[in-house]
Amino acid sequence: MSIFESIDRPTLLLNEKQARQNIAFMAEKAAQNGVRFRPHFKTHQSAEIGEWFRPYGVSEITVSSVDMAEYFADHGWNDITIAFPVNLRQVQAIDALARRIRVGLLVESTESAAYLARHLTAQADVWIKIDVGAGRTGLPWQQPEKILPILQVCQSSHPLHLRGLLTHAGHTYGAGSVERVRQIYAETLQRLESVHAYLSQASRSPLELSVGDTPACTLVEDLRGVDEIRPGNFVFYDAEQTLWGTCRPDQMATAVACPVVAVHAEREAVVVYGGAIHLNKDFTTYQGQRAYGLVALPEANGWSEPLEGAYVSSLSQEHGLVHVPERWLDRIQIGGLLMILPAHSCLPVTALKSFLTLEGRRIDTLNS
Amino acid sequence: MSIFESIDRPTLLLNEKQARQNIAFMAEKAAQNGVRFRPHFKTHQSAEIGEWFRPYGVSEITVSSVDMAEYFADHGWNDITIAFPVNLRQVQAIDALARRIRVGLLVESTESAAYLARHLTAQADVWIKIDVGAGRTGLPWQQPEKILPILQVCQSSHPLHLRGLLTHAGHTYGAGSVERVRQIYAETLQRLESVHAYLSQASRSPLELSVGDTPACTLVEDLRGVDEIRPGNFVFYDAEQTLWGTCRPDQMATAVACPVVAVHAEREAVVVYGGAIHLNKDFTTYQGQRAYGLVALPEANGWSEPLEGAYVSSLSQEHGLVHVPERWLDRIQIGGLLMILPAHSCLPVTALKSFLTLEGRRIDTLNS
């Protein structure tokens, strides 16, 4: 446990071996299905971890911001989709990037398409964002006629290259069961195909289909109906994906090591140094309770299985309040560490800025 | 609106004039009550904003981490309470700090007190943390006999100077009404006094009383029963304090300017660039709904009153989904800005790392 001895504050641990296995699993699945693998790098945000994808022939990636695109372009990636409704206030930065590499943009309004047509000097791929039911962003799949004006703007504009239709079926994250995830994926595909059929006459070139949520990409066997998949979370998975059956507990590749600062046995509560500024206040549901993370014990090679019945019950700025059933309390002491398996794995990466591998090596990210 | 034109990403705006007025209000209130004002600097985390307290004679402060204590010690503050259960894994850093300045530590177990007694070489103040009902940290006020062993450790240890009893009645944040906040404060004081009375015979020196939540310090008129107050949030207030009547809307001194990237009028939804990594996923309740923030429009001198009925309904990593009633939609366009008044003001400060004043000046923080 020597690398744990030096930990004096909330620290993001990475099981490198497991993360590499998760990458291999998804890359091989994409290859078997004959679909392009364009992984979302917003989960790890790390140039070094990005390199772990190269042996599988990955050369196209997804990111969630212009800053992240610039960072990965600086690290040798030259085909990047910025999977976020294009931010017109960053058009100059986007144009500069499109002069260096192939950039994909998400468009969901005629106004944005027209603005890009007027302000871009370099060519960019345009993906039209379709809402297949998540209700966050995108044009509603039921009204494909609304997409025609965007198609026309793209087709009459030199810098805009219409690439295809893209969706993020984010509602798989709230599906709650493996069966429901598979249903949502089948619906997603049907809905995308119906939009595709409507537009195919109006489009001068074939339109590709891009999908990409971790639950569906993990659980659906047959992904052959699309051109590319863009999952991100699978590289680490997390407590929620474990609870919902997307992955096994041992497939979780990150944990936040948190110093124990108080133990209140009479109320089955442990207080750790590790709060909202380290984990972000993102929660899932565990045993009917709001849970900001599950809980494991440090072990020589990493961390234990999640402790049955234990979870992070609340977070304030620096504090984590952890419910720990009585039977585990004799394993926990003030000055020791608890390993928090975050509800969602992406947000602690931004908050904690770098990883510490179980071999004691630091891995930087965009924010380091 | 010239300073807003250059904003291309989520940006933390600060109304400096209002923040200075908020500081003046609380400093004068403390002075009128004859209690020491030891403001919590975790809200602003900024050396420059810290200086705005000096004209009121403030020389003692509160922080929430050892890092923050070191930062403010480097900026000339030499009496700092670290209001977090002492993290034994940082004892060397604490000891180094205690050699430079006067440091106050929070202790809530005999183990921690004994560990400090063995490992500190410089003297530190010890505040015993009392739980008056919030149920997060601290020793239960109903069992003062549990405190005696800590008292004994402190009194037989050279480096530990027992200073008093400290509480954070964090449940005022969930009180929901002005009347209930005042009730909780009255209870808090009674409970602290009962612990104080129990311990006064055993203690060799008088024990001070320290309290400090913004709702009570703002709303309770008579604060004379304690030695010091430690509010922090009042410097900016926020949406929750406004909704609960702790402050007026115009007393909120921060907002996050977010680029508008999509408008979906048919579902009264606006999508902004501004998500969980900018605001943190912290919410309050507005009109019965989970609200990550209220919403205002940019104005020449800052931002408007909150738009009636509008709120941030969900956050993902980079996206904010904003519910905007139809009547406001013609004021909002893609490429413009929305001003998000965060549910709680402390967390976006950590996430966004610096402020932009309405005069266009950047103010750094600990994380800049």
Domain residue spans in chain B? 2-12+246-364, 35-233
Average pLDDT over residues B285-306: 96
The rounded distance, in Å, linking the Cα atoms of A75 and A52 is 13
Work out the percent of chain A whose per-residue pLDDT is above 70: 100
Confidence at residue A122, expressed as pLDDT on a 0 to 100 scale: 98
Task: Measure in Å the smallest separation between the Cα of B155 and chain A Cα atoms.
Answer: 21
Confidence at residue A305, expressed as pLDDT on a 0 to 100 scale: 97
The rounded distance, in Å, linking the Cα atoms of B64 and B194 is 27
Q: Looking at chain A, which residue has its C-alpha nearest residue B282?
A: A281
Rg over CA atoms, chain B: 22
Q: What value does the mean pLDDT of chain B take? A: 96
- pLDDT higher than 80, residue B49: yes
Query: Looking at A174-178, A189-193, B285-289, B329-333, which range is the least confident one?
Result: A174-178
Confidence at residue A174, expressed as pLDDT on a 0 to 100 scale: 73
Sorting pLDDT into bands at 50, 70 and 90, what band is A175? confident
Q: Do B84 and A280 touch (CB under 8 A)?
A: no
Average pLDDT over residues A8-20: 98
Q: Provide the 3-class DSSP secondary structure of residue B361.
A: coil
Measured CA angle at B111 (ends B110, B114), to 5 deg: 80
- pLDDT higher than 60, residue B4: yes
CB < 8 Å to B137, chain A = 262, 271, 319
The rounded distance, in Å, linking the Cα atoms of B83 and B37 is 15
Write B184-189 long-range contacts (CB < 8 A, 24+): B184/B133, B184/B216, B185/B211, B185/B216, B185/B219, B185/B220, B187/B132, B187/B133, B188/B132, B188/B133, B188/B216, B189/B225, B189/B226
Confidence at residue A271, expressed as pLDDT on a 0 to 100 scale: 97
User: In the CATH hierarchy, which fold is given to the domain comprising A17-235?
Assistant: TIM Barrel (3.20.20)
Task: Give how far the C-alpha of residue A63 lies from the chain's centroid of Cα atoms, to the nearest Å.
Answer: 9
> Any chain A CB within 8 A of the CB of B9?
yes
Q: Do B347 and A281 touch (CB under 8 A)?
A: yes
Closest to B262 (Cβ–Cβ): which among A109, A276, A321? A109
Q: What value does the mean pLDDT of chain A take? A: 96
First to last CA, chain A: 25
Q: Looking at chain A, which residue has its C-alpha nearest residue B63?
A: A318
- pLDDT higher than 90, residue B305: yes
The rounded distance, in Å, linking the Cα atoms of B98 and A63 is 45
The 3 state secondary structure assigned to A16-47 is HHHHHHHHHHHHHHHHHHCCEECCECCCCCCH
- pLDDT higher than 60, residue B361: yes
> Any chain A CB within 8 A of the CB of B7?
yes
Closest to A109 (Cβ–Cβ): which among B90, B334, B351? B334
For the stretch B88-131, pLDDT in tens is: 999 999 999 999 999 999 999 999 999 999 999 999 999 999 99
Q: Looking at chain B, which residue has its C-alpha nearest residue A282?
A: B281
- pLDDT higher than 80, residue B157: yes
Q: Report the candidate in B159, B157, B163, B190 with the shortest Cα–Cα distance to residue B60.
A: B163
Confidence at residue B1, expressed as pLDDT on a 0 to 100 scale: 52
- Sign of the alpha-carbon dihedral angle for B85, B88, B92, B93: negative
Q: Report the candidate in A282, A261, A283, A264 with the shortest Cα–Cα distance to residue A272.
A: A261
- pLDDT higher than 90, residue B301: no
- pLDDT higher than 80, residue A173: no
- pLDDT higher than 90, residue A303: yes
For the stretch A96-110, pLDDT in tens is: 999 999 999 999 999
Q: Provide the 3-class DSSP secondary structure of residue A264.
A: strand
Sorting pLDDT into bands at 50, 70 and 90, what band is A356? very high
Q: Do A90 and B261 touch (CB under 8 A)?
A: no
For the stretch A119-169, pLDDT in tens is: 999 999 999 999 998 888 899 999 999 999 999 999 999 999 999 999 998
For the stretch B195-208, pLDDT in tens is: 999 999 899 899 99
Q: Do B319 and A135 touch (CB under 8 A)?
A: no
The CATH number that domain B2-12+246-364 falls under is: 2.40.37.20
Q: Do A9 and B89 touch (CB under 8 A)?
A: yes
> Any chain B CB within 8 A of the CB of A281?
yes
Closest to B316 (Cβ–Cβ): which among A108, A136, A321? A136
A17-235 shares its CATH topology with A254-344: no
CB < 8 Å to B67, chain A = 9
Average pLDDT over residues A69-87: 98
Task: Measure in Å the smallest separation between the Cα of B32 and chain A Cα atoms.
Answer: 30
Confidence at residue B173, expressed as pLDDT on a 0 to 100 scale: 74
Residue A143 has a CB neighbour count (10 Å cut-off) of 12
A284-311 per-residue burial string, b: 16 or more CB within 10 A, e: under 16: bebeeeebbbbbbbbeeebbeebbebbb
CATH 1.10.10.10 fits A254-344, yes or no: no
Confidence at residue A1, expressed as pLDDT on a 0 to 100 scale: 52
Q: Do B64 and A318 touch (CB under 8 A)?
A: yes
Confidence at residue B170, expressed as pLDDT on a 0 to 100 scale: 77
Q: How many residues does chain B have?
A: 368
Q: Selecting from 3.40.50.20, 3.20.20.10, 3.30.870.10, 3.40.50.1260, what CATH number does the domain B35-233 have?
A: 3.20.20.10
